Chains A and B, each alone.
Chain A
Amino acid sequence: MKAWRTFSVALIAISMLTACMKTNIIEEISIVVALGFDVNKDQTFRVTSSFLESQTEPKLNKERSVSVHTKTSQGAQQLFTQRVGYELAYGQIRVLLLDPKLFEAQKANEIQLLSRDPLYGDMIKIVIADQGAADILEHRYNSIPNIGTYLNNMLDHNTNKSWSPVMTMHEFSKDKSEDLYREKVIPIMERQGEEIEITGSALLQNSQIVGRASAQESFYIKSLRGEDAEFPYEVFFTKQQLIESGMIHHFPRNENVQDVSLAFKIINSKGHIHVTDLDKLEFKATVNVEIDIQGISEYYNFQDSRAIAALKKQLRSTLTTHLQQVLDKIKQVNSDCVGFSERYRSMIPHSKLQQTNWIELFPTSTLQGDVNIKLIRTGTKE
Chain B
Amino acid sequence: MKINDVPRKNLQFHAFLLFFAISSAQIGVGIFSFQRSIFQACGHIAWIAVIIAGLIAHLILWSIIKILQKYESADLFGIHYDIFGKYAGVVLNILFLFQYICTIVAIMRNYIEIIQVWIFPDIPSWVVIILLSILTFYTSSGGIRVILGVCVIQFTIILMTVLLSFSPLEYAVWNQLLPIEVDNIKELINGVMRMGFSLAGFEVVWFLYPFVRNKQKAMLHAHHSLGFTNIVYLFLTIVSLVYFSADQLQEGLWPSIDILKIVKYTYLERIEFIVISIWMVVTMSGLALFIWIIGRGCKRMWNLKPNMIAIITLMLAFVANINIDEHVEIKQLNAFIGMQVIASTFIYPVLLSFIVMIVHSYRQRKNNEGGQQHESMEDI
Q: Which residues of A contact B (CB under 8 A)?
A: 9, 12, 16, 21-22, 91, 118, 121-123, 168, 170-171, 173-177, 179, 181, 226, 339, 342-343, 345-351
Contact = CB atoms under 8 A, between A and B. Distances in A.
Contact of A12 (B134, B177, B247, B258): B134
Q: Give the one of A118, A123, A349, A350 with max B CB within 10 A.
A: A118
Given A123-B261, A173-B248, A181-B245, A351 B175 contact: no
B262 A347 contact: no
Contacts of B264: 123
A342 B173 contact: yes
Given A21-B123, A123-B262, A346-B176, 17 more contacts: A21-B120, A118-B118, A122-B262, A123-B261, A123-B264, A179-B245, A179-B246, A179-B247, A339-B175, A342-B173, A346-B177, A346-B178, A346-B179, A347-B178, A348-B179, A349-B179, A349-B181
Contacts of B268: none
A121 B247 contact: no
A347 B179 contact: yes
Given A122-B258, A174-B247, A179-B246, A351 B118 contact: no
B245 A174 contact: yes
Contacts, number: 63
Nearest to B180: A349
7 contacts: A121-B261, A121-B262, A170-B261, A170-B262, A174-B245, A345-B175, A346-B176
Interface string B239-262: 000001111100100000010011
Contacts of A122: 258, 261-262
A91 B270 contact: yes
B184 to A, nearest CB: 10
Nearest to B258: A122
Contacts of A22: 120, 122
A171 B247 CA distance: 12
B276 to A, nearest CB: 10
A171 B248 CA distance: 10
B4 to A, nearest CB: 31
A82 B225 CA distance: 54
B248 to A, nearest CB: 6
Contacts of A174: 244-245, 247-248
A343 B262 contact: no
The 8 closest A-B pairs by CB, nearest first: A346-B178, A174-B245, A346-B175, A122-B261, A179-B246, A176-B247, A349-B181, A342-B175
B351 interface: no
A342 B247 contact: no
A21 B127 contact: yes
B265 interface: no
Contacts of B251: 176
B269 interface: yes
Contacts of B118: 118
A186 to B, nearest CB: 16
Contacts of A226: 173
Contacts of A91: 270
A224 B317 CA distance: 54
Contacts of B122: 22
Contacts of B175: 339, 342-343, 345-346
Contacts of B160: none
Interface in B132-185: 134, 138, 171, 173, 175-179, 181, 183
A173 B252 CA distance: 11
Contacts of A342: 173, 175-176
Contact of B247 (A9, A170, A177): A177
Contact of A339 (B173, B244, B246, B269): B173
A221 to B, nearest CB: 15
A12 B178 CA distance: 53
A346 B138 CA distance: 52
Contact of B181 (A9, A171, A173, A350): A350
Residue among B120, B181, B183, B261 facing the most chain A CB atoms (10 A cut-off) = B261
Nearest to A91: B270
Most buried by B among A9, A91, A346, A347: A346
Interface string B219-255: 0000000000000000000000000111110010000
Contacts of A168: 262
Contacts of B134: 12
A307 B70 CA distance: 81
A160 B134 CA distance: 47
B377 interface: no
Nearest to A175: B245
B138 A9 contact: yes
A121 B270 contact: yes
Contact of A170 (B123, B171, B183, B270): B171
Contacts of B127: 21
B134 to A, nearest CB: 6
A343 B174 CA distance: 10
A171 B171 CA distance: 9
Contacts of B261: 121-123, 170
A171, A348, A349, A351: residue with the most chain B Cβ atoms closer than 10 Å? A349
A349 B247 CA distance: 20
A16 B131 contact: yes
A121 B179 contact: no
A354 to B, nearest CB: 11
Contacts of A175: 245, 247
Nearest to B134: A12
Nearest to B115: A21
Contacts of B178: 346-347
B274 interface: no
A171 B176 CA distance: 15
Most buried by B among A21, A176, A181: A21
B264 to A, nearest CB: 6
Interface in B16-65: none
A169 to B, nearest CB: 9
A63 to B, nearest CB: 21
B117 interface: yes
A123 B261 CA distance: 8
Contacts of A121: 261-262, 269-270
A178 to B, nearest CB: 9
Contacts of B177: 346
